[in-house]
């Protein structure tokens, strides 16, 4: 361990690399007997889902003091089909991993991220010696209002991601982020591992901060590139394209213009958006316009009239009414309330 300014020792990146690379006694056993399933599965409960027998990973004892835990997946052995009572993030630190999610084979490479919702059936095929996969398991309650409020919700896509992934209930879905690889995410995971493996004063607070940064990076990635989503794959992909278009053109977009662009009847598109987001097309646009207006009021010196036009309202009185309904105060009061 490297000493800090106060004389204490803490894990550095060289020591982390050594810990992740060196084989554990269990891994040596798995390598010698790859066909043998770990005896720990004898103590794990099973359940039947859609006619399939699955293990239930509950994490109760591991996470009795914390809302998140980090783990390196064992190499040379498969992890049989299972579900878990937590949200799980898989990060391919090095090499690759192949898993079956709801029966679909998916291979991830270095830097890729997969997030699985509660009760999502999956299994992991054996990893080789050069494959290092890190999992971050998170209780649902970890995503408190305070945590979520620190993530960017300025965009329609960001808001959809947060709602779909973190506020859903038993949707058995997953999302994959192909980063190939993102050095920022790699650095964040390294820091999380060092804090987790070598816990010291304020480690929980430091890890919470890194988790905010990690999810913020994933949101950025989500905005910039295609992201694979699960279950209703084609539905989600189409919806994300629609939301991205609405977000980019929120000042002028209409239901009819989006319907025409994507080849839908306006009535069908309206019902489709309401079904998948829980709100109407009009409510989505108003919400996004109000969020942008609030951002401009807090971060620029633009006049209220200029901001109204900038977010798509030529009628300033109408803008005032919408703003009042959304924030329960006038634009001027909102701006003044944010001053220090």
CATH of the domain at 152: 2.60.120.280
Is there a contact between 211 and 201 (Cβ–Cβ < 8 Å)?
A: no
Identify the CATH number of the domain in which residue 241 sits.
Answer: 1.10.10.60
Structure confidence at residue 236 (pLDDT): 63
Q: Please indicate, yes or no, whether residues 140 and 7 belong to a single structural domain of this protein.
A: yes
pLDDT tens digit string along 299-336? 899 999 999 999 999 999 999 999 999 999 999 999 98
Structure confidence at residue 1 (pLDDT): 55
Q: Please indicate, yes or no, whether residues 269 and 288 belong to a single structural domain of this protein.
A: yes
Structure confidence at residue 51 (pLDDT): 84
Range of the domain at 250: 233-337
Structure confidence at residue 43 (pLDDT): 87
Q: Please indicate, yes or no, whether residues 59 and 156 belong to a single structural domain of this protein.
A: yes
Q: Please indicate, yes or no, whether residues 160 and 274 belong to a single structural domain of this protein.
A: no
Structure confidence at residue 231 (pLDDT): 45
Out of 229, 247, 262, a domain closes at 229
Is there a contact between 134 and 91 (Cβ–Cβ < 8 Å)?
A: yes
Q: Residues in the chain with pLDDT < 70?
A: 1-9, 61, 64, 144-172, 180-181, 223-237, 338-340
Structure confidence at residue 5 (pLDDT): 47
pLDDT tens digit string along 181-204? 678 899 999 999 999 999 888 888
Structure confidence at residue 137 (pLDDT): 92
What's this model's pTM, rounded to 2 decimal places? 0.71
Mean pLDDT of the chain: 84
Q: Please indicate, yes or no, whether residues 19 and 161 belong to a single structural domain of this protein.
A: yes
């Amino acid at each position: 361990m490297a000493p800090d300014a106060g004389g204490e020792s803490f894990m550095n990146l060289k020591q982390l690399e050594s810990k992740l690379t060196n084989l554990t006694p269990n891994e040596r056993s798995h390598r010698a007997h790859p066909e043998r399933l770990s005896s720990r599965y004898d103590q794990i409960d099973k359940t039947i889902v859609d006619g399939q027998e699955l293990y239930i990973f509950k994490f109760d004892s591991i996470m009795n003091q914390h809302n998140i835990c980090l783990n390196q997946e064992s190499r040379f052995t498969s992890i049989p089909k299972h579900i878990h009572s937590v949200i799980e993030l898989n990060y391919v630190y090095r090499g690759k991993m192949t898993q079956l999610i709801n029966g679909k084979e998916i291979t991830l490479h270095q830097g890729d991220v997969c997030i699985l919702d509660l009760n999502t059936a999956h299994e992991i095929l054996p990893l080789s010696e050069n494959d290092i996969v890190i999992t971050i398991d998170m209780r649902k309650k970890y995503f408190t209002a305070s945590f979520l409020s620190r993530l960017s919700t300025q965009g329609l896509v960001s808001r959809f991601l947060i709602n779909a992934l973190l506020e859903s209930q038993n949707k058995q879905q997953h999302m994959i982020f192909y980063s190939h690889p993102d050095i920022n995410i790699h650095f964040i995971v390294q820091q999380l591992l060092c804090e987790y493996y070598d816990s010291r004063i304020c480690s929980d607070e430091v890890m919470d901060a890194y988790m905010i940064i990690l999810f913020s990076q994933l949101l950025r990635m989500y905005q910039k590139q295609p992201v694979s989503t699960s279950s209703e794959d084609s539905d989600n992909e189409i919806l994300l394209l629609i939301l991205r278009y609405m977000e980019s053109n929120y000042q002028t977009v209409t239901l009819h213009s989006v319907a025409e662009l994507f080849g839908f009847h306006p009535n069908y598109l309206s019902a489709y958006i309401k079904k998948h987001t829980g709100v109407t097309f009009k409510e989505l646009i108003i919400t996004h316009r109000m969020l942008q207006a609030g951002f401009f009021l807090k971060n620029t010196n633009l006049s209220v009239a200029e901001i109204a036009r900038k977010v798509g309202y030529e009628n300033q009185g109408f803008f005032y009414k919408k703003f009042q309904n959304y924030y329960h105060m006038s634009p001027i009061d909102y701006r003044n309330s944010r001053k220090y």
